[in-house]
Structure 1
Amino acid sequence: MLAEHSKNKKVFDNGFQIAKNADLASKKYGQKNVINGTLGIFYNDNEEMHTLDIVNKEYKNLSDKELFNYSSSISGEERFIEAVKQYVLGKNYSNNLDNNFLEVIATPGGSGAIYNTFRNYINPGEVVLLPNYMWSSYKLMSKEVGGGFQTYSLFNNRGKFDLVNFENSVIELAKIQKNLVIVLNNPCHNPTGYTMSTSEVKGVMEI
């Protein structure tokens, strides 16, 4: 019954599989004998899911209507949209910004944001530029929207962000594609946990 483009499609994620193996090992050998080094949910020192108290408090005080009702806008509540603009732009924020170059859209989580970006900015047949260490679902999302992917080297031989390879990869793709979509996954890169230094971020911005 599947459409042709969806046949033989399988989803496998190493991170989820390793986390599952760690969980099974904890049950078999005892939690104190197994260290789960996978990324994902943030736990505190007591191995309990860590959440922000202020968020918990506000969330639990919402009425059913506030919690389950539709938003007044598909793109998200106006206060949320303005708050995101303020956070991203900092001192450069103005509530009279020209929306031709800035748009905020609320999505159900980070994966939704990534998929929407790929869907709306990759032309058919174009590729997205991904780090060579990555969450494998990036590749699947790009394929889902009719695109492909190429990789840049995340680290140089000194274990730092490879600005030289990144720049070469950007220039190469920009010559042959109308649009250029790049995944940086910073801070706390998935799956390596790497966070770029201030100078590395500035280097990326200059490129």
Structure 2
Amino acid sequence: MKLAKRLSNLGTENAFEVLNEVNRLKSAGRNIISFAIGEPDFDTPDNIKQAGIKAIQDNFTHYSPSAGILPLRDAIVKYISATRSIQVNHDEVVVTPGGKPIIYYVLHALVDPGDEVIYPNPGFPIYESVIRFTGGVPVPAPILEEKDFSLDTAELEKLITPKTKLIILNSPHNPTGGMLTAQDLKTIAELACRHNLWVLSDEIYSRITYAGTFASICSLPGMQEKTIILDGFSKTYAMTGWRLGYGVMPKELAVHIARLITNCESCTNTFVQYGGLEALTGPQDSVISMVSEFKARRDFIVAGLNNIPGFSCKTPNGAFYVFPNVTEACKRLGLPDSKALQQHLLHNGDVAVLPRSAFGVRNTGETQEYLRFSYAASCDIIAKGLERIEKAMR
């Protein structure tokens, strides 16, 4: 079979590969506790489900504008204007089936072959995958444990060259749960303005924070016209299967992103958009409750992991992930890396996690080993999982 050469540059999201392995083991009769997939275990709030059902009953089952229905875009305008302290209009909003299309379309709209794109590493693997697929050059910016899993902005500055086109930010951060500080954002904004760079700010976890206040780089002077905000409904409202996200960007770019949508999927599911409209404009009690529960789980899993010999886990400030350092755990078991430890825990402990290698190549000089745990599970399940890990370590 002769395939296009470009496919060799396309990566994947390893969380789904681990999920397939977990499902295979479960079908064989194994009882697996999974901390691998980044998906809230809560149900979509009932008011949102009812809004989607009503939209179907009201026959909102036809095409919508490629950029999204106007009521939802207007609701996004009000939400973004209020939470990012900027003035936005609906021509600057593009609704997409999930957050990933914003990554895909923005990179295709901005990056020419040979252009360099700086992205966080470890990080969401789709960044690097799509950069390569467009013909761009991925330039990893180390996310450092010693900086509470934030960027080293001095090192970031060294990565900028005349070929740099775009910087990707993700705060709160997947896989570490780290957040950029106000000083980090100020420094990055100064670099972006000085070098005339675009910034793609992935803010999908912006509502899931535990300490401090979420801040967006687009709120800083001179940055609104250089920033594409990526946000959505999957994490905040437990709507992963609904596939609903959006981007906020200069309207000159939004026109081209909408045209890419026209060429690919025509539009985002219309009745799903009405579910999103209810999510933004309806009661927010479910979000507050979910974040409170996530905070309790975070504290529980961090304390539990730090009690397991060989594990050292920082307390994250956002998202629903922990990223313990397992360098000593690997040494204790005579394992070469976190991938081997992940396999050991899965096959000998019946616990699924993700290794450091699922989130990008190692940075230059990187020697530490890490695992990612998603604590989108009850404290009872977390306790059972930790017990199994401790046993597997013995």
TM-score bracket, normalised by the shorter chain, equals 0.7 to 0.9
Q: Does 1:60 align with 2:53?
A: yes
1:184 and 2:165 aligned:
no
Number of the residue aligned with 2:21:
21
Q: 2:231 corresponds to which residue?
A: none
- The alpha carbon displacement at 1:159 in A equals 3.5
Q: Provide the rounded CA distance (Å) in 2 between the counterparts of 1:7 and 1:110.
A: 22
Write out per-residue CA displacement over residues 37-82 of structure 1, whole angstroms, 9 at most, x where no aligned residue: 11333214xxxxx2121111100111367442111x2212222222
User: Which residue matches 1:129?
Assistant: 118
Structure 1: runs of 5 or more not aligned = 45-49
Across the two proteins, how many residue pairs are aligned to each other?
A: 186
What are structure 2's unaligned runs of at least 5 residues?
188-394
Contact 2:149 2:178 in 1 (8 A): no
Verify: 1:204 aligned to 2:184, yes or no: yes
> What letter matches 1:85 in structure 2?
V
Counting aligned pairs with the same residue, the percent is: 20
In structure 2, C-alpha distance between the alignment counterparts of 1:114 and 1:66, rounded to whole Å: 31
Matched, 1:153 2:142: yes
Corresponding residue of 1:35:
33
User: CA deviation digits over 1:114-148, x for unaligned, max 9?
Assistant: 11111122233112211111232222211222212
- The verdict on how the C-alpha distance between 1:179 and 1:12 changes in structure 2, with shifts beyond 3 A counting, is closer
Q: Residue in 2 aligned with 1:169?
A: 156
SS of residue in 1 equivalent to 2:36: coil
Bigger RCO (CA 8 Å, 6+ sep):
2
Task: With the length of structure 2 as denominator, give the TM-score of the two structures.
Answer: 0.42
Q: CA RMSD in A?
A: 2.9
- For residues 203 and 166 of structure 1, what CA distance do their matches in structure 2 show? 9
CA pair 65-87 structure 1, distance change in 2 beyond 3 A: same
| TM-score normalised according to structure 1 size | 0.74
